[in-house]
Amino acid sequence: MKTLKDIKCGQTVSVTRLNGAGPLKRRIMDMGITKGTQILVRKVAPLGDPVEVNVRGYELSIRKSEAENIEVAE
């Protein structure tokens, strides 16, 4: 099981599952990250937090703690 946290810069992945409960999962879904969505990892900050991604044509910064709740497949 790979999560968005494990993906390197420049890779495009597809969301397979969202983990987490309640407000966290709702927040991720409100950002446009749902099952089947394509995500391009644009940048990872020097210390690894946050991760900058491109989702549905817009830029988004996600904390590592949120990224580990997003399971992906290449």
Give me the pLDDT at residue 47, please.
Answer: 80
Kind and range of the H or E element at 16? strand 12-18
Residue 66 carries which side chain, given as an amino acid letter? E
pLDDT tens-digit profile of 2-47? 998 888 899 999 999 999 888 989 998 998 999 999 999 999 888 8
Which CATH number fits the domain that encloses residue 61? 2.30.30.90
Q: Indicate the number of domains in the chain.
A: 1
Nearest-CA neighbor of 55 among 69, 74, 36?
36
The domain containing residue 65 runs over which residues? 2-73
